[in-house]
Each structure stands twice: as C-alpha cells, then as structure tokens.
Amino acid sequence: ALLLACQVRLVMKAHSFIRENVPRVLSSVKDKAGTVHIPRMSQYLYFLFAPTLIYRDNYPRNPTIRWGYVATKFAQVLGSLFYAYYIFVRLCIPQFRNSSQETFNLRGLVLCIFNSILPGVLILFLVFFAFLHCWLNAFAEMLRFADRMFYK
C-alpha cells in the first residue's frame, strides 16, 4: 500500500511537470525562438521532494530552517503513531481475540465490528494527522518550502 501511494504521487508529479513544461517548449519551438526554456534537473528534484503537486520553476523559500519546528513535527508523528498503536492494542485486538474463541455467529460479528468503528476512526484520524500535517510540514520546513497556505 505504501509503495502504491508513492507510485501514485510520482505519477501525479510527472503529470504536473509535463503539463506545465510541454506547452512552454512547444510555443517556443513554434515561434522559432532561439532559446527554449527547459527546467534544470535541480528544479525537478526539488519538485519531487516538495510537498506540492503543482510544478513551478521557483517556489517561495524561507531564509532559514527552524530545526525546533522540525523536531516538534517529528515528535508529533511518533506520538501519533504510539497513540494509534495504544488504541489498537487496548480497544481493537481484545474485541477480535474474544470472538476467535467463540463459535461463529452473526450477532457476535456485528457487535465486534460496531465496537471497533470508533477506535478505527480514531486511528484513521491519527494517521492522517501524522502524515498529512506533521510529516509533510517537517519536510516542507527542511526544504525551506514557504508556500504552505496554498488554499488561502
């Protein structure tokens, strides 16, 4: 699942890169301009690691890296993962452990599933928070990526 997510991300980034650069190159060829602006490899590599799916030649950059902020975000990732593990071990596993010792019946299965819905949703929220907020903001800070208010 993690490998598939990385592949989807890379395909989306490649699509954005091609969509932004091919029209620019084709228009300069059609106009028979002497210089064709092709992005440098460093720009493409930065785009691959930056937490954005929209390619630009230059992004706003912070002047410095706030290492305390990076450490805080990584600590939040670890805390979220430990809390998700705790919820899973304390609330989900006992439900299924008890049901595996009994004979199968539909009522027991439905009760087991309904008792696992709330812990499952909490784990889902924690994983989304850990990855989409903490992990990506930590890497954005280390890359000095300043444009983090995209939707504002």
Residue 121 DSSP class = H
What is the reported pLDDT for 83?
95
Residue 28 has pLDDT above 60, yes or no: yes
Average pLDDT of the chain is 86
Q: Span 58-73, mean pLDDT?
A: 92
β-sheet bridge partners, residue 61: 145
- Whole-angstrom distance, CA of residue 134 vs CA of residue 141: 11
- Whole-angstrom distance, CA of residue 88 vs CA of residue 107: 22
User: Which H/E stretch holds residue 13?
Assistant: helix 2-30
Residue 96 has pLDDT above 90, yes or no: no
Model's pTM, two decimal places?
Answer: 0.73
Confidence of residue 152 (pLDDT cuts 50, 70, 90): low
Confidence of residue 68 (pLDDT cuts 50, 70, 90): very high
And the tokens for 128? 């989304």
